[in-house]
A = this chain, B = another copy of it.
Amino acid sequence: MNLKELATKLGLSPTTVSRALNDYPEVNEVTRQRVKAAAKRHNYHPNARAIRLATGRAMAIGHVIPLATRHEIVNPVFADFIAGAGEVYSRNDHDMVLSVVPDDEEDAAYRALRSKGNVDGVIVHGPRMEDHRIALLHEIGLPFVVHGRASGVTLPYPWVDVNNRRAFHRATDFLLDLGHRRIALVNGLEFMDFAMRRRGGYVEALTARGLPPDPALMDSNEMTEVSGYRAAKRMLASPTPPTAFLASSMISGMGIRRALEEHGLKLGRDISIIIHDDDLSYMKNGEDVPIFTATRSSVREAGRIAADMLLGLIAHPQEVPPTRLLEADLVIGQSTGPAPLAV
């Protein structure tokens, strides 16, 4: 059942039927109702491929997921971000198209999306410092929103980000207020912009209290259970081990906890942990009571906001790119306590 068939069945022209269904004002209200009823009755759904060709719009948003050939890490927060963004797309009759490409083909993927025209815009994931994708997308003229920011990029661009710096500053302050002085940072890879900012907040808080940051207490790695475990193991083996950990993710936090347990250290009494909690649906930080004290910010909500922003940008291009900075909550759980008196 296509438009032409429906039109003849109604004794109308395809033009009128199309206009009736798309709520154009110039069609008689009676006709419109008749058309809509017939469309429903005959279960007519306009062919998406034809619409896209005719309108020149893809009605789709792209997400390029680079598949790192070496470490092959699929970002764990990705699923939740996608879920949030996807909700918004569905509500607005847009498709979400994911391109999984080897990371050395990422630029080509953006160019292809643009020139083949199968998306109207893209979300940029996991920005790095000086991320070159922003300039690329500007150049090829593909609307986009960055999830995160890219320090060092001078062009203005639209983004949605968590205030990572402030979150980690607060978390560090919280530990300092509890008397901790040797606070370890188990961070993500620091060429990632968010990780750099977190480190910035941590260092800032320490130096504000006259404490020089200790390189031996700073780890930067992929945010996996194992690397959290290893970092903690290494630091705990030191003659002057930390009394508190600041971890970049729930998963690293679990690795740290495993290391602590092997050392017979009781969480919240002998040693403290604060994590950053992306509020992942499959990895809740406890239900009623949080497992870890945490800085929390829902990545799913970030997905919704970014998707909304991008659709808005496509519909009404702005001269000055919109931005949105989300603040993380500090939730107090059972993983933090006063610093033990002796080292």
Q: Which residues of A contact B (CB under 8 A)?
A: 43, 45-50, 52-53, 56, 58, 60, 65, 67, 72-76, 78-80, 82-83, 85-87, 89-90, 95-101, 112, 115-118, 223-226, 251, 254, 257-258, 261, 280-284, 286-287, 291
Contact = CB atoms under 8 A, between A and B. Distances in A.
B282 A224 contact: yes
Given A225-B284, A282-B75, A48 B116 contact: yes
Contacts of A82: 98, 100
Q: Which 5 A-B pairs have the closest CB atoms?
A: A86-B100, A45-B115, A76-B282, A48-B116, A79-B79
A65 B282 CA distance: 14
A221 to B, nearest CB: 12
A50 B48 contact: no
A13 to B, nearest CB: 21
Contacts of A115: 43, 45
Contacts of A48: 116-118
Nearest to A56: B49
Contacts of A45: 112, 115-116
A67 B83 contact: yes
Majority-rule SS of A interface residues? mixed
Copies in the complex: 2
B100 A226 contact: no
A79 B74 contact: yes
A279 B72 CA distance: 12
A284 B118 CA distance: 35
Contacts of A101: 90
Contact of A79 (B78, B116, B224, B284): B78
A37 to B, nearest CB: 18
A87 B67 contact: yes
Given A43-B115, A45-B116, A96 B86 contact: no
A6 B117 CA distance: 17
A275 to B, nearest CB: 12
A65 B42 CA distance: 27
A95 B97 contact: yes
A283 B43 contact: no
Given A43-B115, A65-B83, A73-B281, A60 B291 contact: no
A89 B100 contact: yes
Contacts of A85: 100
A255 B58 CA distance: 44
A72 B281 contact: yes
